[in-house]
Amino acid sequence: KLAVITGAGSGIGRALALQLAQAGAHLALCDLSMENLQETQAECSESGVNISLHLCDVGDESQMQAFAADALKAHNSEHVNLVFNNAGLAGGGSFINDSRADWERTFNVCWEGVYFGCRTFLPLLIASDEGHLVNVSSVNGFWASISGNMPHTSYSAAKFAVKGFTESLLNDVKVHAPHVGVSVVMPGHIGTNIVINSQVLQG
C-alpha cells in the first residue's frame, strides 16, 4: 500500500508514518520542514519501506498538485491507497485582535489543506482497488473554545469545516466510490509541537 501523510514532520503525522512503516506501507510524506521530514524518515528507516519526502504548503493547491505528481513518480504508481490530511497550524485565535494574515494563514492550512488534499488525492484513491481517506479535525470541531478566556476562532472554524465536510463526504463516497472508506478524526489535546512549529511559521 502507498500512504500519503501531510504534516508528517512531527506530532501525529510522524507517529502515523512510523506505525504505517512498521505495517509495511510505503510512504509519501510532506511538511514545510525538510529537516523534520528527514527525522521522521530516520525513525522509519528500519522498516525497509520506500519513503519519499516532499516540501509542500498544503494551503497552496498548486503545491499539493506538485506533491501528488512527485509522489506518484517517486513510487512508480498511478494511485494511492491511504491519505491522511493531517497538517495543522495554530494561530489566529482572535477574530478581533489578531491580524487578518495570521487568521487566514491558520484557516488556509487547517481547512484548505484538507480541501486541497481531497481534491488532489481522492481521484488517486478512487483509482486504487481499495482506499481510505482520513481527515484530521480536532476537539475544537466540537467545541469552539476549550477555555472561555482563550478564543480559537480561526482554528475552530476550520476544524468545524473539516468535520462537516468529511461527514458529508461519507455519503458521496458511499454512492460514487464505495470501495473507498472515509474517516474524520477528532483528537483532543496531544503533546505535539504544533504550537512551537506554528510560532516559527507565523513569524
What contacts 24+ positions apart, CB below 8 Å, involve 97-106? 98/154, 102/154, 102/202, 103/153, 103/154, 104/154, 105/59, 105/201, 105/202, 106/154, 106/155, 106/158, 106/198, 106/202
Distance CA 8, CA 29 (A): 6
Query: Got the DSSP string for 60-108?
Result: -HHHHHHHHHHHHHHTT-S--SEEEE---------TTTS-HHHHHHHHI
Q: Does 115 participate in catalysis according to the annotation?
A: no
Catalytic residue among 107, 116, 121, 155: 155
Burial (Cβ within 10 Å: 0-12, 13-18, ≥19) of residue 180: buried
Q: Catalytic amino acids?
A: 155
